C-alpha cells in the first residue's frame, strides 16, 4: 500500500546537458526501514537524492512523501516535509560557529536570540539522548571530520527529520567513528525513523539495511531484500559484470632504496606534535602501507614527502641524494618523478570551479605538450579526454566543471593525472575514498601494476582491509610516531588495531 512508503520517486528523469543522470527512476522506501542505495560512481544516486531534497528539480516524474504527492522545490520544502540530508561533502560554513550553521534556514523569526536559545536546548537534549556532543560555539573550521559530520546530523535532528538521507556517511570516518555512527543509526531506526543509506561499502550496506536498491546508468536495475543477497551479487548488479572482490597479486620484489626519511619532526601552529622523529625507507617495486587512526600524522607525513610542508628538522633523501630544503619544492619533486595523490581531493587535489581539463592539468601546465606559456586548449582537452577514457571518468566531458562530477569520478580524475605521468615514486592518500566497487578493483590493479613495473608506492589508507590486501610492508602510526612494522601475511586487523592505539600486541 502507498501509505507504507515514507518516500517514493516515480518515473524521475533528470538531464544535465547531454548527460542523462536519471532515466525514469522508480524508488520506493518503506517507512521505518534502513534502505540501501548502491551503484557505480555517476550512476545517478546523488542526483536522485538531491532531487528528493530539493537541490535539483526533476525534468519529469513525481515525488511522494508518506503517500502524498509532494512539490519539493527547495531544501526548505524538503525539511518542512520531514526530510533531512547529510551530504558526502559537508554543506557547512567553516567561518561560522556550530550553532550558526545549525540555525541556518531555521532561525525562528527575527528574534535570533530566542531562536538560538531554543536550538541550544534541543542540542542539549540530543547530546544527552544520542551522545551527539559538540561545542555549539566552536568554529566549524576548528572541528575534525567526525565532528563536522555530527553537526550535519544535528542539523537534521534539530528539525526532527523523520526521513534521513545519508550520502556516503563513512567515507571520511575512522573505524571507531563508523561504529559509533552505526550505533546511532540503529537507534534512530528503532525509534521509527526512515533512513536512506548511500554507500559504496558493500559490507556496510549488508550489515545495516533491510532492503537494497541498485542503480546503474541512471536507472534502478535491482531491488533486493538484504537477507537474500550477497556482496558478489550486489557488485555484479552495480557494474554489470562479475567483479573481483579480492586483490590478486604476486609477491613483490623490492629493489633499490629510492626514498629515505630520518627523524622527521613537525609541530603544528599551536605547538602540538604532528611528526615525532619519523623514519622510513621505501624501495622500488614495493608498496608500503601506512595504517593508523586519522589525525596521527599520516596526512602530514605524506605532505612533507610531497614537499607541501617543511618539517622543523629531519633529513630526506631520494634516489640516493640528500634533499636540501630548496630541493623539496613540489615542482622539483614532480620533475624527479615523485607524484602525489592527496587525501583531500577537493581541498588539495582539484579546483572545484575549474573545468575537468583544467583540473587534469594542475601541476603540469608548463609542459611543452600543452603549449607552455601559450596554452593549447585543443591539446589540453585531448589529453584530458584520454585520461578520462583510461580511467573511465564519467561523463567523459573535459569542459564539465569539476564540481559537476561525483566524488568517485573526481577521485579517478586525480588518479589519472598522477599515475599516467609515469611516476618513480607514488605518494597516495586514501585512493578509494568514496569510490565504487568496480572502480576500486580498477584502482587496485593500477597500483599493483605500478609496483610490478618498479614504482615505489607509499599508500595511506584508513581501510585496514585495503592496507592488508595491497601492502608488501605495513607501517603503523600513532601519536605522530611509527609504532610498529608488520608483514601483511604475519599480522591481523586486531594486531594492527593495537599498534594504532600505541599497544604492542607482543608485549600485551
Q: How confident is the model at residue 387 (pLDDT cuts 50, 70, 90)?
A: very high
pLDDT at 28 over 50: yes
DSSP element (H, E) containing 61: strand 60-65
The number of distinct structural domains making up the chain is 3
Query: Domain check: are 164 and 21 in the same one?
Result: yes
Query: Domain check: are 9 and 70 in the same one?
Result: yes
Query: Domain check: are 395 and 448 in the same one?
Result: no
Q: How many CB atoms lie within 10 A of CB 444?
A: 20
Buried b (16+ CB within 10 A) or exposed e, 471-481: bbbbbbbbebb
Query: Domain check: are 429 and 488 in the same one?
Result: yes
3 state SS of 281:
strand
Q: How confident is the model at residue 508 (pLDDT cuts 50, 70, 90)?
A: very low
Whether residue 356 is contained in a domain is answered as yes
Q: How confident is the model at residue 41 (pLDDT cuts 50, 70, 90)?
A: confident
What's the average model confidence in pLDDT over 18-39? 94
Whether residue 313 is contained in a domain is answered as yes
* pLDDT at 87 (0 to 100): 85
* pLDDT at 502 (0 to 100): 83
Whether residue 377 is contained in a domain is answered as yes
Q: For 357, how many CA atoms within 13 A lie in the half-sphere containing its CB? A: 17
Q: How confident is the model at residue 219 (pLDDT cuts 50, 70, 90)?
A: very high
Whether residue 344 is contained in a domain is answered as no
**Mean pLDDT score of the chain:** 90
Rg (CA), the chain: 24
Query: Domain check: are 185 and 280 in the same one?
Result: no
Structural domain that includes position 404: 349-421
Do residues 453 and 256 touch, judged by C-beta distance below 8 A? no
Cα–Cα distance, 345 to 351 (Å, whole number): 9
> 167-182 pLDDT, tens per residue?
988 877 777 778 889 9
Whether residue 343 is contained in a domain is answered as no
Q: How far is CA 138 from CA 97, 98, 119, 462, in A?
A: 5, 6, 15, 26
pLDDT at 337 over 50: yes
Q: Give 485-492's long-range contacts (Cβ < 8 A, gap of 24+).
A: 488/289
Query: Domain check: are 24 and 121 in the same one?
Result: yes
pLDDT at 102 over 50: yes
Query: Domain check: are 180 and 314 in the same one?
Result: no
Query: Domain check: are 18 and 156 in the same one?
Result: yes
Given 421, 447, 480, the domain boundary residue is 421
Q: How confident is the model at residue 391 (pLDDT cuts 50, 70, 90)?
A: very high
Query: Domain check: are 427 and 327 in the same one?
Result: yes
Query: Domain check: are 369 and 426 in the same one?
Result: no
pLDDT > 90: percent of the chain: 65
Cα–Cα distance, 206 to 259 (Å, whole number): 41
Query: Domain check: are 415 and 427 in the same one?
Result: no
Q: How many CB atoms lie within 10 A of CB 299?
A: 20
The β-bridge partners of 65 are: 7, 68
Of residues 335, 332, 270, 329, the one with CA closest to residue 304:
329
Of residues 286, 224, 248, the one with CA closest to residue 455:
286
Cα–Cα distance, 100 to 139 (Å, whole number): 9
Cα–Cα distance, 325 to 312 (Å, whole number): 11
Given 421, 437, 460, the domain boundary residue is 421
Given 370, 399, 421, the domain boundary residue is 421
Sheet holding 60-65, edge to edge: 19-30, 5-16, 60-65, 68-70
As a whole number of Å, the end-to-end CA separation of the chain is 57
Cα–Cα distance, 345 to 88 (Å, whole number): 13
For position 442, which CATH number holds? 3.40.50.300
3 state SS of 229:
coil
Whether residue 300 is contained in a domain is answered as yes
Whether residue 257 is contained in a domain is answered as yes
> 241-254 pLDDT, tens per residue?
888 778 888 888 89
What's the average model confidence in pLDDT over 362-389? 89
User: Sign of torsion, CA 462 463 469 474?
Assistant: positive
Whether residue 231 is contained in a domain is answered as yes
Query: Domain check: are 320 and 289 in the same one?
Result: yes
Lowest mean pLDDT of 122-126, 170-174, 361-365, 422-426, name the range. 170-174
Amino acid at each position: 500500500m502507498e501509505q507504507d512508503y515514507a518516500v517514493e520517486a516515480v518515473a524521475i528523469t533528470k538531464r544535465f546537458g547531454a548527460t542523462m543522470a536519471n532515466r525514469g527512476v522508480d524508488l520506493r522506501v518503506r517507512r521505518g526501514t534502513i534502505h540501501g542505495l548502491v551503484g557505480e560512481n555517476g550512476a545517478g544516486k546523488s542526483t536522485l537524492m538531491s532531487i528528493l531534497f530539493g537541490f535539483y528539480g526533476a525534468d519529469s516524474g513525481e515525488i511522494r512523501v508518506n503517500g502524498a504527492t509532494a512539490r519539493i522545490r527547495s531544501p526548505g520544502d524538503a525539511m518542512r516535509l520531514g526530510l533531512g540530508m547529510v551530504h558526502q561533502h559537508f554543506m557547512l560554513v567553516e567561518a561560522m560557529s556550530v550553532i550558526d550553521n545549525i540555525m541556518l534556514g531555521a532561525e525562528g523569526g527575527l528574534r535570533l536570540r530566542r531562536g538560538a536559545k531554543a536550538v541550544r536546548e534541543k542540542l542539549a537534549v540530543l547530546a544527552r539522548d544520542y551522545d551527539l556532543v559538540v561545542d555549539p560555539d566552536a568554529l566549524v573550521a576548528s572541528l575534525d571530520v567526525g565532528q563536522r559530520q555530527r553537526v550535519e546530523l544535528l542539523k537534521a535532528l534539530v528539525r526532527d527529520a523523520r526521513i534521513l538521507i545519508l550520502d556516503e556517511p563513512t567515507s571520511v570516518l575512522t573505524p571507531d567513528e563508523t561504529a559509533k555512527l552505526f550505533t546511532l543509526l540503529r537507534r534512530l531506526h528503532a525509534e521509527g525513523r526512515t533512513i536512506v543509506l548511500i554507500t559504496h561499502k558493500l559490507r556496510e550496506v549488508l550489515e545495516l539495511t533491510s532492503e537494497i536498491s541498485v542503480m546503474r546508468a541512471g536507472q534502478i536495475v535491482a531491488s533486493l531484500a538484504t537477507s537474500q543477497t550477497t556482496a558478489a551479487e550486489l557488485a555484479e548488479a552495480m557494474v554489470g559484470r562479475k567483479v573481483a572482490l579480492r586483490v590478486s597479486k604476486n609477491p613483490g620484489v623490492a629493489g633499490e632504496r629510492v626514498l629515505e626519511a630520518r627523524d622527521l619532526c613537525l609541530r603544528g601552529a599551536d605547538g602540538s606534535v604532528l611528526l615525532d622523529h619519523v623514519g622510513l625507507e621505501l624501495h622500488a617495486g614495493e608498496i608500503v602501507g601506512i595504517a593508523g587512526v586519522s589525525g596521527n600524522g599520516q596526512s602530514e607525513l605524506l605532505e612533507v614527502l610531497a614537499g607541501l610542508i617543511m618539517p622543523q628538522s629531519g633529513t630526506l633523501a631520494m634516489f640516493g641524494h640528500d634533499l636540501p630544503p630548496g630541493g623539496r619544492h613540489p615542482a622539483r619533486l614532480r620533475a624527479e618523478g615523485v607524484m602525489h595523490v592527496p587525501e583531500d581531493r577537493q581541498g588539495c587535489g582539484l579546483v572545484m570551479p575549474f573545468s575537468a581539463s583544467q583540473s587534469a592539468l594542475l601541476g603540469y601546465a608548463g609542459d611543452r605538450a600543452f603549449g607552455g606559456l601559450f596554452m593549447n586548449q585543443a591539446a589540453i582537452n585531448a589529453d584530458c579526454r584520454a585520461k578520462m577514457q583510461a580511467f573511465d571518468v564519467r561523463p567523459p566531458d573535459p569542459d564539465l566543471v569539476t564540481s559537476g562530477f561525483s566524488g568517485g569520478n573526481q577521485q579517478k580524475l586525480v588518479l589519472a593525472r598522477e599515475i599516467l605521468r609515469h611516476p618513480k615514486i607514488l605518494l597516495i592518500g586514501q585512493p578509494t575514498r568514496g569510490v565504487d566497487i568496480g572502480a576500486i578493483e580498477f584502482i587496485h590493479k593500477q597500483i599493483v601494476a605500478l609496483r610490478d613495473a618498479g614504482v615505489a608506492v607509499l599508500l595511506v589508507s584508513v581501510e585496514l582491509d585495503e592496507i592488508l590486501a595491497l601492502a608488501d610492508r605495513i607501517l603503523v602510526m600513532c601519536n605522530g610516531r611509527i609504532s610498529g612494522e608488520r608483514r601483511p601475511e604475519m599480522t591481523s586487523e586486531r594486531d594492527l588495531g593495537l599498534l594504532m592505539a600505541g599497544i604492542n600486541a607482543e608485549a600485551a
